[in-house]
Amino acid sequence: MKYRTKLIRAIPALALALLAACGNVGDSGGSGPSSEEGGGGPTITIGSKNFTEQYVLGELYAQALEANGFNVEKKLDLGSAALADKALQNGQIDMYPEYTGTSIVEIFKQEQTPGTPEATYQKAKELYAQREPADTMLTPAPFNNTYGIFVRKQVAEENDLKTLADLAEASPKLAFVLFSEFKTREDGYPNMQKNYPAFDFGDLVIVNSIGGPIYQGVLQGEGDAGVGFTTDSQLASDELVVMEDPKSIWPFYYPAPVVRSDVLEKSPKMEGVLNEVSASLDAETMRELNAQVDIEQEDPEDVASEYLEEKGIVD
């Protein structure tokens, strides 16, 4: 098996700016959790992982809190789930958006995941509450942002690829474009190999960012197949074919704010504000918001502001 790590070029200007902004946890400064500053309200430090949907969710939650009297510090480029969770546990951030299935598999390293969205959320919520210091997973947004394994249309047609089982059989002669975390996460590529043992790509092309570089890599011929998310706007491209998953191998990934419990106890108003934002979202809406950033190259801050005003969540 060959492994290549490379940066797929021709990344949009906004993506380059976001990648350039990536640094160590705490680089953006900010005050400690729940300190009194500015307009007299508590200060909440919000983090996110380093891909488009996380930037948008982070901005949505941050701006909704600001509109309700909170002072907000933003650290919206922390990296992987493990890095974001470490920042939460260390008190460098007070909250960040996480996905229910990711919490169970990647944060708490559980071997089994529940079979329904509600059970997945309840299990994740329980695991957060049990650790020390405790954290609270609030009510998830009502959509599942799961993995979408896709193939360039020409490759799919030439090899008659419709399902993950088809792709697994053809994989030794194909190259797969993925982000580094997916290669080792138990719910990522190892999960594909566990459920479809024929998976053995001839080449794994590892890029340094989720989203745009992967799609560009496949469309530009750097690889034949790639991993995306079902709320990615790029998956709607006529040049890509999303593989069906007859075994339903993925956990449920519903996004929800994870907040330090001590911060939530001091500022209980947060819960209602954050839950209102989450409840307003669905898969189609999230896909449209992501598209404004990825395709129209708008700033996540502007996208979030316009959405919250349209929904009447902020004035």
Q: Find out whether 224 and 243 touch, Cβ atoms under 8 Å.
A: no
Q: Provide the token pair at 19.
A: 């990648």
Fill in the amino acid letter for 213. Answer: P
Token readout for 83 is: 């890095």
Q: Minimal CA–CA distance to 289: which of 273, 301, 271, 279?
A: 301
Write down the H helix ranges in 52-163: 52-67, 81-89, 100-102, 117-130, 153-159
Q: What are phi and psi of 125, to 5 degrees?
A: -60, -40
Domains (range + CATH), the chain:
2-7+147-242 (3.40.190.120), 31-144+254-310 (3.40.190.10)
pTM recorded for the entire structure: 0.85
The dihedral sign for the CA sequence 240, 241, 247, 252: positive
Task: Spell out the per-residue pLDDT of the chain, length 315, in tens.
Answer: 444 544 443 333 333 333 333 333 333 333 344 333 444 689 999 999 999 999 999 999 999 999 999 999 999 999 999 999 999 999 999 999 999 999 999 999 998 999 999 999 999 999 999 999 999 999 999 999 999 999 999 999 999 999 999 999 999 999 999 999 999 999 999 999 999 999 999 999 999 888 889 999 999 999 999 999 999 999 989 999 999 999 999 999 999 999 999 999 999 999 999 999 999 999 999 999 999 999 999 999 999 999 999 999 998
Please answer whether residues 6 and 207 qualify as being in contact, where contact means their C-beta atoms are separated by less than 8 angstroms: yes
Tell me how far apart the alpha carbons of residues 61 and 9 are, in angstroms, rounded to a whole number: 32
The answer to whether residues 102 and 253 touch, using CB atoms and an 8 Å cutoff, is: yes
